Structure 1
Amino acid sequence: MAAHVRQADGVSLRKLVARDLERIEEEFQSEDGAGTAQWFGFWNTNGLRARLEQDQHIGAQDGALAVTLGADIVGKVDWFSNTAWGRANTSACWEIAVGIFAAYRGRGIGTTAQGLLIDYLFAHYPRHRIQATTAVENIAEQRAIEKLGFSREGVVRQAQWRAGQWHDQVLYSLLRPEWEAAR
């Protein structure tokens, strides 16, 4: 049994294991499974297995964890260092993302999982800022991010190619002192 990071409301995070990858592929390889705001077409999933063998999806620049409800995997959370507001060694921030399997959406699991991920990242990495982006039409995710204390910074125009056209994204941020004060 894989060790869990922390639990809240029956939701926990743990390291991904080989049996999770088939379920992730199965759930996210369709528009219904991924959701319209996260469906970018079919993708090569061989990298999931290679990455698991390489570093168990826990790297210096990015990572992923399974979201579980009880013993069942119900999605995954990711973080990556794709933005530095200056020199990367001093000004990098994490960006987070969540994907919850369709049958489990609308229950607050994604919000809880993102909160657990924020706890994990601030506890284990000396980053000061975490950011999140979501499609302007993804109101549910905007509410989840705002519930966690993120501040809306603005709209990044036509930043994402999806479903044959460019889409605007909403940019949010959360600073370490804000998260600590809320806890």
Structure 2
Amino acid sequence: MSLRKLGLEDIDLLEANFQSVQGAGEAQWFGFWDTNKLRARVGQDQLIGNADGALAVCLGEQVIGKVDWFTVSSWGRANTSACWEVAIGIFAQYRGQGHGTQAQKMLVDYLFTHYPRHRIQATTAAENAAEQKCLEKLGFTREGVIRQAQWRAGAWHDQLIYSVLRDEWAH
């Protein structure tokens, strides 16, 4: 398994796999989204920016999903409290095989190696037991519940927040 930069051809794959509830999964389906913005970002900075980024998750040469990271500064001023938040999407036929856990481990390794951030966090739907298990297996600490923070499928949903600090990451 590996991570690599996303190319324009990969955006078509993401669109084909994530533009439905079946493809995205119930906990990740937020409706249709504009993939032209992704295409523009690939042309602009290859989806590797100062505030955010995304990489393809590959099994051999086959793209099986993507990982993302973006700056969050909810805990104070951005210049003193910014951290990364990470997210993942694995194509439906590859879920439940450990690929998501491995990809998120690789992403956290990459971020702690190449950026001087001290904290990486992740949020997940309260009903997404698979992602909770994955984050805990990787050594993330569950910090709490963010009540009714996400609008999805016509209702508000609780989110769970997890984090790992640089000095806790021993992978």
Taking structure 1 as the reference length, what is the TM-score of the superposition? 0.92
**Distance (whole Å) between structure 1 residues aligned to residue 164 and residue 4 of structure 2:** 23
Taking structure 2 as the reference length, what is the TM-score of the superposition? 0.98
2:43 maps to: 53
- After TM superposition, give the deviation of residue 152 of structure 1 in Å: 0.3
* 1:166 alignment partner, one of 131, 150, 156: 156
**Distance (whole Å) between structure 2 residues aligned to residue 32 and residue 85 of structure 1:** 35
- After TM superposition, give the deviation of residue 83 of structure 1 in Å: 2.6
**Distance (whole Å) between structure 1 residues aligned to residue 60 and residue 79 of structure 2:** 38
1:13 has 2:3 as partner: yes
1:133 has 2:120 as partner: no
2:52 maps to: 62
1:78 maps to: 68
Once the two structures are superposed, the pairs formed by residues 14-163 of structure 1 within 5 Å of their partners are: 14-163=4-153
**Distance (whole Å) between structure 1 residues aligned to residue 31 and residue 75 of structure 2:** 30
1:35-91 C-alpha deviation (Å, 9 max, x unpaired) = 000000111111011010010000000000000000000000000002342221121
**Distance (whole Å) between structure 2 residues aligned to residue 87 and residue 44 of structure 1:** 30
Write out the 4+ residue segments of structure 1 that deviate beyond 4 Å after TM superposition. none
**Gap runs ≥5 in structure 1:** 1-10
- Aligned-residue CA RMSD (Å): 0.7
The alignment of Structure 1 onto Structure 2 pairs a total of residues equal to 171
Counterpart secondary structure, 1:153: strand
**Distance (whole Å) between structure 2 residues aligned to residue 46 and residue 62 of structure 1:** 17
**Distance (whole Å) between structure 2 residues aligned to residue 106 and residue 42 of structure 1:** 24
